[in-house]
Every structure is written in structure tokens, then in C-alpha cells.
Homo-oligomer: A and B are copies of this chain.
Amino acid sequence: MKLFEIVDKPIEVEQVIAKVESRKAGAITTFTGVVREWTKGKRTLFLEYQAYVPMAEKMLAKIGDEIQRKWPGTIVAISHRIGRLDISDIAVVIAVSSPHRRAAYEANEYAIERIKQMVPIWKKEHWENGEAWIGDQLENVPYPDGKPNIAEGDMK
């Protein structure tokens, strides 16, 4: 059972949840990122995800380590899909179990923020009238020192 994985097949939420189940858990949170049809008035037809697979899995595991240090007692599993994804397809599932709910929410949100900062996965949007690779960080602030925040940090 791989807690952190890049896959090219559909992801089942229940299967990611199953990886974090524990008799110590009182709360399990999931985040599911799905392909949205409309973004700022622009219609997406489909997406294409690419990853640097071995490094992406390593970085997902690093996020898991960070979470276990910050929120002891949590268990994290993350699956991210690559390839062509249609509207409503699942791109990513993050599951976190914890004895108590606050940590399960916080750790889950931390995971998605960190994925968007530092995991080598790229999304190409295909619209009716064009296509483009999206760089989430570029849409926000360029890296202040030419690098992303690789060290664990506070979330934005």
C-alpha cells in the first residue's frame, strides 16, 4: 500500500480513506480536487496533467513527514492523477485521519497548499479557443528569491 502516489487511472476516494483508517482515529478529512468546467468565465474542455513522477512521489511523502511532525498522531495519504482528465474527474485526493478533528482539517489544508507550492506536477488547460500550461505560483507572486518555499513554512 502506497500512501503517496501518482497514478494514471481514476482515483477512488474510499480507497484513499482506507489507507488512513485507524482505531485511534476519531476524524477523517478528505480533500478531492476535481476538474471544474468554468474558471473566471472561461470554459475548460479538459485538462492534461504531467508529473515528474519519482520526484513528485518523494515530495508528497515529504509533505506527509512535515504533517506528522506538525500534527503528531495524524496519518496522511495522497493520490494524484496524471494524463487527460475530463470535467468532474478527480485530480487529487488527500485523506487525513487524526484522533481529533481540528488537526484533521488543518493538516489536510496544509497538504493541498504544499502540493501547490512544491510538487512537480503541471496542468495544461484546454479551452475552446486555446490551451496553456498553468503555473499556479506565477499567477500569484513570483518566488521572492527565485525559489519556491521549499522549507516548511506557514501557509499563505
Interface residues of A, Cβ cutoff 8 Å to B: 12-14, 17, 21-39, 87-88, 99, 101, 104-105, 108-109, 112
Contact = CB atoms under 8 A, between A and B. Distances in A.
B28 A34 contact: yes
Q: What 8 pairs between A and B have smallest CB-CB spacing?
A: A26-B36, A28-B32, A30-B30, A23-B37, A105-B109, A14-B14, A23-B87, A29-B31
A32 B17 contact: yes
Contacts of A109: 101, 105
A17 B13 contact: yes
A105 B32 CA distance: 11
Given A21-B88, A34-B28, A112 B101 contact: yes
A88 to B, nearest CB: 6
A99 B13 contact: no
A38 B26 CA distance: 9
A25 B31 contact: no
A38 B24 contact: yes
Contacts of A34: 21, 25-28
A38 B104 CA distance: 17
